[in-house]
Structures are given as structure tokens and as C-alpha cells.
């Protein structure tokens, strides 16, 4: 793997930490030091290389890398676009945005045909909340422990006091109901006939990989239909193959009014997100193309990345691979946790390549994260749950890499249990 730089000595680590401390965040600098103080300099496929030459298996990245890093299909598309027009005037029509919208809607559920592109996930959620409001759906209902990003609108739906309290007042007219509780949702929707927007993740990611009871999502969709509410599926973490289906909603055949995608959409190369809506839902944005805009929305470079990522996912059957690899990993990790950690792990759960290990002991998830790094694997903590370690491996993981993950996990588990 070429690092593209010859400056890969220990001084890179010190200088980077010092610059973080001076210009970015002392907290981030301290966290970096806690994780061994190494600096990430290069990535390819399932691997990340550090400035000291360590190779780490990337099962983290908050779910971005379904195609792995620098997938050749994505890189080729982006390189070609870089030499043409990476950013467009926005006054003229531009083919890449149109082609990317066509490619994306060819894999979204039937009827979802209209797209607004953005860069980050929260931006796409904002667009969905605004679209709902423009349609008269002004009461925003989201789920306890749900995560939708940290811009003010998205934050109003994100449910963790440590993130929300410093920024109050947030959006008015919001309610949080327990995830998986159909009756609680029905109660709220009855009080807001024709004027609610329900924002929900098919599987809650940052809450610690919470899989809802069977039949929950179809029941939510039925309630939305009954009470004239908008249904927005936040597929930023669950979509694009992560769960072994193109979309989390596909597991139950649920088609929302609006779907939001992000993370994997840019193929791990360019930040891209999208809000995809039915023609009827999109009508207010369709009528006035300036009612909701952003300078870099649909920028050709990101559009090329999205087309490359969608092509790579389809051509390499990454959706099917995520389902198959994830199912095996879940069994193997469950066995490993039971053998090595016993009652210290409350549950290993997940769908596809979104796997959560819920610890029964305070602080254990953090220790496991540190020991996994030591053993050569990058994992995720969970933003809305301190007890759950999350693994989000890429679907390009091969047999050797899968075994590497299990061996490293066993070493980490033994280290924390000793
Ligand atoms: C389900 C979900 N929605 C929204 C977001 C916010 O995305 P971003 O961090 O790109 O703004 C995330 C990020 O983790 C997410 O998991």
C-alpha cells in the first residue's frame, strides 16, 4: 500500500497530535493518544495503514466502508470526473447528477423516484424534515435512542440528552416514542391526524444495534397510512447492503414516503448523502427548485463516486456478501463471547454486517475497543449507548480477513477478561 508520503516516522504522530491540540480539538487529541497515538495515513480495501507501518482491519468507520476503502470502481470514476468538472456551475444542467439520481432510484424501493443530494447524513435528514413540513407534516415523531445527526433539525430527532441539552431550544412539535412500541406510536399519531412525520431507523445503529420486533416496521407503515403521516426511513447506516438487503425496509417490504441514505453512498471516497422521495411527497421541492438548495448538492465529483459505489455494490453482489458474511460472523462472535467473556457480555446481535456486542459490565465496551485496536482491528463505539461495541466490516471482506477478525477478537476478549 503506498502512503503517498515519505513522512511516516514517529514525528508524524507527535506533530499531528500537536496540531490537533492547537487547531482542532484537545479532546480528540487525547482520545487519539488513548488509542495508541498512531496516525492513519492510507487505506485500501478492508485495511488501514498507520504512520508506524501497522496494518489494521477496518471494521469501524461508522458504517461507511461497505465497498472497502478506495474501491477501484469508485476511484476510477472519481479520477475521471476530477479531470473534467469536479464542481459544476449549477446554472447549467449537468449530466452526472442526473445519472447518479437515475442509478440511485434504480435500487431504491418502487415509487421512490425523486432525489435531493447532499454531503453529510444530517443534511439529508434536514432535507427530509423540511420536505415533510412543506407537505404540512409538522409534528416530528422519532424514536427513543434513535440517531439522525447533529444539525439542529436532525438533533431534534436524535435522542440523547448529552447531545441535545447544550443546544436547546430545538425544533418545537417533536415527540420521542420507544422504538418497537407500536401502541405508543399509535397514541401520538391519533393526536396529530394528517400532520405527523415519523422518522425511524430500520435497525437502530448508534443506539447499539437495536433490532426491532418482527412486524414492527410494517406496523409503523400501516399506522402512518392510517393517520396520514409521512414515513421517513433513515437508512444512512442500514442502507446500501449493510443489512444484507439493499435497504433495511426491504427486509419487510416497507416502502416509505422518503428514504435517506449516506455513509456508503460515496463509496468511502467522497462524502455524499441523499434524500429520495415519492413523486407526491417531493412535489413542494419539485415546484420550486430554490426552496431547498445547497452549493455542493449534486456536485459532479460526489455524483461520480455515488455511481461508482452503486455499480461496485451491484457488480460484486456486496448486498448478498454482507448477508452471508454477517450471518457467519454473528454465530462465531456469539460463540467466542460466550466462551471467553461469559456473563460479561449480555448479548451479541445484529443483521448482516451491522453487529453489536452489548456488555453487561460498565466500561467493558471501551476496553474491548482499545484491546481490539491493539490486536489490529478498528471497531466502533456507539454514540447513543456506552455499553455496545459495534462492528461494521466491509462486505469485501475475504475468508482470510474474516478469520483475522475472529482471531483478533479472541485475543482482545482474552486480554479484557484476564
Ligand atoms: C442512522 C443515522 N442517521 C444519520 C446519521 C448522521 O450522519 P452524519 O454523521 O453523516 O451527519 C447517522 C450517523 O451515524 C446515522 O447513523
The rounded average pLDDT for each run of 10 residues, N- to C-terminus, in the chain (418 residues) is 50 88 95 87 97 96 96 98 97 97 98 98 98 98 97 95 96 98 98 98 97 98 98 98 98 98 98 98 96 97 98 98 98 98 98 98 96 97 93 98 98 95
Please choose from 117, 118, 121, 206 the residue to mutate so as to test ligand 1's pocket, defined by most ligand atoms within 8 A of CB: 121
Evaluate: CB of 147 within 6 angstroms of ligand 1.
Answer: yes
Least Cα distance to 369 among 361, 353, 380 occurs for: 380
* Model pLDDT for residues 386-411, shown as the tens digit of each residue: 999 999 999 999 999 999 999 999 99
Distance 216 CA to ligand 1 centre (A): 22
- Do the beta carbons of residue 360 and residue 386 sit within 8 Å? no
If you take atom 6 of ligand 1, which residue's CA is the nearest one?
Answer: 149
Work out the burial of residue 311: count CB atoms within 10 Å of its CB; fewer than 13 is exposed, 13-18 middle, 19 or more buried. Answer: middle
Query: 234 forms bridges with which residues in the sheet?
Result: 260
Separation CA 266–CA 258 (nearest Å): 19
Nearest atom, ligand 1, residue 204 CA: 1
Burial 359-397 (b: 16+ CB within 10 A, else e): beeeebbbbbbbbbbebbbbbbbbbbbebbbbbbbbbbb
What pLDDT score does 3 carry? Answer: 46
What pLDDT score does 12 carry? Answer: 82
Separation CA 245–CA 91 (nearest Å): 37
Torsion of CA 333, 338, 343, 345, to 10 degrees: 0
Please choose from 158, 202, 236 the residue to mutate so as to test ligand 1's pocket, defined by most ligand atoms within 8 A of CB: 236
Q: Which residues contact 367 (CB under 8 A, 6 or more apart)?
A: 416
Please choose from 263, 272, 302 the residue to mutate so as to test ligand 1's pocket, defined by most ligand atoms within 8 A of CB: 263
Evaluate: CB of 262 within 6 angstroms of ligand 1.
Answer: yes
Please choose from 123, 235, 237 the residue to mutate so as to test ligand 1's pocket, defined by most ligand atoms within 8 A of CB: 237
If you take atom 8 of ligand 1, which residue's CA is the nearest one?
Answer: 121
Q: Which sign does the torsion angle of CA 350, 352, 354, 355 carry?
A: positive
* Model pLDDT for residues 357-372, shown as the tens digit of each residue: 999 999 999 999 999 9
If you take atom 13 of ligand 1, which residue's CA is the nearest one?
Answer: 149
Distance 102 CA to ligand 1 centre (A): 23
Evaluate: CB of 163 within 6 angstroms of ligand 1.
Answer: no
Residue 95, φ and ψ in degrees, nearest 5: -65, -35
Evaluate: CB of 206 within 6 angstroms of ligand 1.
Answer: yes
Distance 354 CA to ligand 1 centre (A): 14
What pLDDT score does 1 carry? Answer: 61
Radius of gyration in angstroms for the set of CA atoms belonging to the chain, rounded to a whole number: 21
Distance 149 CA to ligand 1 centre (A): 5
Distance 98 CA to ligand 1 centre (A): 25
Separation CA 269–CA 74 (nearest Å): 7
If you take atom 7 of ligand 1, which residue's CA is the nearest one?
Answer: 121
Predicted TM-score (pTM) of the model is 0.96
- For the beta sheet containing 258-261, the strands, ordered from the edge strand earlier in sequence to the opposite edge, are 112-118, 273-278, 258-261, 230-234, 196-200, 139-143, 174-177
Separation CA 210–CA 145 (nearest Å): 9
What pLDDT score does 238 carry? Answer: 98
What pLDDT score does 397 carry? Answer: 98
CATH numbers and ranges of domains, the chain: 11-25+51-65+317-417 (3.90.1150.10), 72-315 (3.40.640.10)
Amino acid at each position: 500500500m503506498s502512503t503517498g508520503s515519505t513522512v511516516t516516522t514517529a514525528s508524524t504522530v507527535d506533530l499531528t497530535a500537536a496540531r490537533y491540540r492547537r487547531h482542532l480539538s484537545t479532546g480528540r487529541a487525547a482520545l487519539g493518544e488513548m488509542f495508541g497515538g498512531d496516525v492513519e495515513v492510507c487505506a485500501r480495501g478492508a485495511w488501514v495503514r498507520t504512520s508506524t507501518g501497522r496494518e489494521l482491519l477496518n471494521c469501524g468507520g461508522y458504517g461507511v466502508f461497505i465497498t472497502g476503502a478506495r474501491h477501484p470502481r469508485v476511484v476510477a470514476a472519481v479520477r475521471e470526473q476530477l479531470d473534467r468538472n469536479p464542481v459544476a456551475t449549477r446554472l447549467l444542467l449537468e449530466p452526472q447528477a442526473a445519472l447518479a439520481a437515475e442509478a440511485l432510484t434504480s435500487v431504491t424501493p418502487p415509487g421512490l423516484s425523486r432525489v435531493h443530494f447532499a454531503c453529510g447524513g444530517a443534511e439529508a435528514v434536514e432535507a427530509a424534515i423540511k420536505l415533510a413540513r412543506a407537505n404540512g407534516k409538522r409534528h416530528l415523531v422519532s424514536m427513543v435512542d434513535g440517531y439522525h445527526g447533529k444539525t439542529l433539525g436532525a438533533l431534534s430527532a436524535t435522542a440523547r440528552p448529552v447531545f441535545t441539552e447544550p443546544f436547546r431550544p430545538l425544533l418545537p412539535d417533536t415527540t420521542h416514542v420507544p422504538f418497537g412500541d407500536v401502541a405508543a406510536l399509535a397514541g401520538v399519531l391519533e393526536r396529530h391526524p394528517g400532520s405527523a412525520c415519523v422518522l425511524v431507523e430500520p435497525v437502530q445503529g448508534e443506539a447499539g444495534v437495536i433490532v426491532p420486533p418482527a412486524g414492527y416496521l410494517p406496523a409503523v407503515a400501516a399506522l402512518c397510512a392510517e393517520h396520514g403521516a409521512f414515513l421517513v426511513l433513515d437508512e444512512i447506516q442500514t442502507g446500501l447492503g449493510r443489512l444484507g438487503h439493499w435497504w433495511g425496509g426491504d427486509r419487510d417490504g416497507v416502502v416509505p414516503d422518503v428514504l435517506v441514505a449516506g455513509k456508503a453512498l460515496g463509496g468511502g471516497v467522497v462524502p455524499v448523502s441523499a434524500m429520495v422521495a415519492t413523486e407526491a411527497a417531493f412535489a413542494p421541492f419539485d415546484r420550486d427548485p430554490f426552496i431547498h438548495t445547497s452549493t455542493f448538492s449534486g456536485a459532479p465529483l460526489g455524483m461520480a463516486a455515488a455511481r461508482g459505489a452503486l455499480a461496485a455494490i451491484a457488480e460484486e453482489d456486496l448486498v448478498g456478501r454482507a448477508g452471508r458474511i454477517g450471518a457467519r460472523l454473528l454465530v462465531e462472535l456469539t460463540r467466542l463471547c460466550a466462551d471467553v467473556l461469559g456473563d460479561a457480555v449480555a448479548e451479541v446481535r445484529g443483521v448482516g454486517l451491522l453487529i453489536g456486542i452489548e456488555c453487561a459490565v460498565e466500561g467493558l465496551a471501551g476496553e474491548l475497543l482499545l484491546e481490539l485496536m491493539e490486536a489490529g482491528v478498528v471497531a466502533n463505539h456507539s454514540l447513543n449507548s456506552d455499553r455496545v461495541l459495534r462492528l461494521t466490516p466491509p462486505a469485501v471482506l475475504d475468508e482470510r480477513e474474516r478469520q483475522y477478525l475472529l482471531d483478533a477478537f479472541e485475543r482482545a476478549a482474552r486480554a479484557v477478561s484476564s
